[in-house]
């Protein structure tokens, strides 16, 4: 197959083992049908047909009485039909802007929108989609392509100059044979905290998001008194989860610089600690935490991780919580971390899609 739209060429003649190899007008690679003119019409027709067949099979299996409940139809649509049609959307998304492709997508979506709203067959597609709360398929395909590009560092108008937080590549992770066994201990009250108080320095971490502002903080304690505190600023689009991870990461950075040999890192975020201790997660902050702990062990420093119950009257935790809120509300400096989460990117791209959907039905003069 030759891919070109402008160049004129003579059909090549290929022979292998005395057998002529003919030219093909389309090929299928990893489930994506590519034609010689890159129209993707065959691919769209195939996936639409496949999606409808899946719906028919699932509806027969799920029908226990006359008709299916609209919520069951919605589940089938979102969990089976949409993923089939949107497969490899980032490769053929430009084709979704063509009217011919949109007609094929609309033909599939109309039946589902009609069943979701239990409307008459004469209802328009636009009205049915609006009542069902379902975005047009061509816009969903554009969304999927935009999110794919954003995750790989391509700047999007909807995100401005904000960079999406990207997972670390496998090459940056240590070999599985070098993975450390990391665990954290759960402490629910002051008695358990005092029982495990065997470290020279205890570092309490916390993150906070107030009025659209995000901050994180650490509080270092030794011999029952605070010896140092650190405040960190994050961009407004960051989440509390990112703030908690950043605080733990900063705690390990502090440990690398100190002379003591035993440290305890206390956090009230179980999700952040689970991310850190799971060697399969490739969050950039969690990866740095594990690397810092590995370096500390080479320096004969011991780091213990603890989960503590939030707002349980623990002095160190309350102090870290107060510092994190101060960092969010009062700290005036360049953010220490400004990578936006994927959830923020999804939300902004969805707002862009809704704006485009609305513009389609604004009357032009």
The DSSP H or E segment spanning 110 is helix 99-117
Pairing of strands 19-21, 14-16: antiparallel
If phi > 0 it is left, if psi is from -120 to 50 it is alpha, else beta; for residue 206 that is: beta
Distance between CA atoms of 262 and 200, rounded to whole angstroms?
Answer: 5
Q: Note the pTM of the prediction, 2 decimals.
A: 0.80
312-347 pLDDT per residue, tens? 778 889 999 999 999 999 998 899 999 888 888 888
> Long-range contacts made by residues 123-127, C-beta under 8 angstroms, separation at least 24?
126/361
Q: What residues are paired with 215 via a beta bridge?
A: 208, 233
Distance between CA atoms of 313 and 187, rounded to whole angstroms?
Answer: 13
- ∠ CA 127-128-131, nearest 5°, is 85
pLDDT of residue 244: 95
Low-confidence ranges of the chain (pLDDT < 50): 64
pLDDT of residue 364: 60
- ∠ CA 87-93-95, nearest 5°, is 115
pLDDT of residue 288: 93
| Residue among 271, 228, 225 nearest 248 (CA) | 271
Torsion angle, CA of 135/136/140/142, rounded to 10 degrees? Answer: -130
pLDDT of residue 139: 93
pLDDT of residue 248: 96
pLDDT of residue 251: 95
Distance between CA atoms of 150 and 156, rounded to whole angstroms?
Answer: 7
Distance between CA atoms of 188 and 150, rounded to whole angstroms?
Answer: 40
Q: Report the chain's terminal Cα–Cα distance, integer Å.
A: 46
Distance between CA atoms of 272 and 240, rounded to whole angstroms?
Answer: 10
CB 114 within 8 A of CB 145: no
pLDDT of residue 170: 79
54-85 pLDDT per residue, tens? 888 877 776 645 567 888 888 888 988 899 99
Distance between CA atoms of 308 and 193, rounded to whole angstroms?
Answer: 8
3-state SS assignment for residue 75:
helix
pLDDT of residue 335: 92
Half-sphere exposure of 184 (CA within 13 A, CB side): 23
Residue partners of 45: CB distance under 8 A and separation at least 6: 104
Distance between CA atoms of 96 and 89, rounded to whole angstroms?
Answer: 9
pLDDT of residue 321: 93
Burial 220-233 (b: 16+ CB within 10 A, else e): bbeeeebeebbbbb
Please tell me what DSSP assigns to residue 341. Answer: P
User: What residue segments make up the domains of the chain, in order of their start?
Assistant: 43-151, 181-339
3-state SS assignment for residue 228:
strand
* Topology of domain 181-339, CATH: Nucleotidyltransferase; domain 5 (3.30.420)
């Amino acid at each position: 197959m030759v891919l070109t739209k402008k160049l004129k060429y003579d059909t090549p003649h290929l022979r292998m083992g005395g057998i002529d190899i003919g030219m093909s007008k389309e090929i299928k690679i990893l489930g994506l049908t590519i034609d010689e003119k890159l129209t993707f019409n065959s691919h769209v027709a195939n996936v639409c047909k496949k999606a409808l067949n899946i719906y028919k099979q699932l509806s027969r299996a799920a029908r226990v009485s006359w008709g299916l409940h609209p919520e069951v139809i919605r589940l089938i649509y979102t969990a089976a039909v949409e993923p089939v049609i949107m497969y490899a959307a980032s490769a053929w998304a430009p084709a979704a802007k063509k009217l011919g492709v949109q007609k094929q997508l609309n033909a599939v979506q109309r039946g589902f929108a009609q069943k979701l709203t239990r409307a008459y067959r004469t209802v328009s597609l636009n009205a049915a989609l609006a009542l069902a709360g379902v975005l047009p398929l061509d816009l969903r395909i554009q969304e999927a392509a935009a999110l794919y590009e954003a995750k790989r560092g391509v700047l999007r108008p909807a995100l401005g100059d904000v960079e999406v937080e990207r997972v670390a590549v496998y090459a940056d992770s240590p070999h599985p044979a070098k993975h450390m066994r990391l665990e954290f201990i759960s402490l629910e009250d002051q008695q358990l905290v005092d029982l495990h108080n065997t470290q020279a320095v205890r570092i309490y971490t916390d993150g906070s998001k107030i009025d659209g502002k995000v901050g994180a903080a650490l509080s270092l304690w030794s011999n029952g008194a605070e010896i140092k505190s650190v405040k960190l600023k994050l961009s407004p689009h960051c989440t509390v989860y990112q703030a908690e991870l950043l605080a733990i990461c900063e705690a390990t950075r502090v440990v690398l610089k100190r002379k003591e040999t035993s440290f305890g890192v206390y956090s009230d975020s179980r999700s952040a600690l689970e991310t850190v201790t799971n060697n399969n997660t490739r969050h950039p902050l969690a990866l740095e935490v594990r690397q810092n702990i590995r370096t500390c062990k080479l320096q004969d420093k011991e780091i213990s991780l603890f989960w503590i119950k939030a707002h349980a009257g623990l002095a160190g935790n309350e102090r870290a919580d107060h510092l994190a809120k101060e960092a969010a509300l009062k700290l005036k400096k360049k953010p220490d971390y400004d990578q936006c989460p994927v959830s923020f990117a999804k939300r902004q791209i969805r707002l862009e899609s809704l704006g485009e959907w609305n513009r389609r039905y604004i009357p032009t003069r």
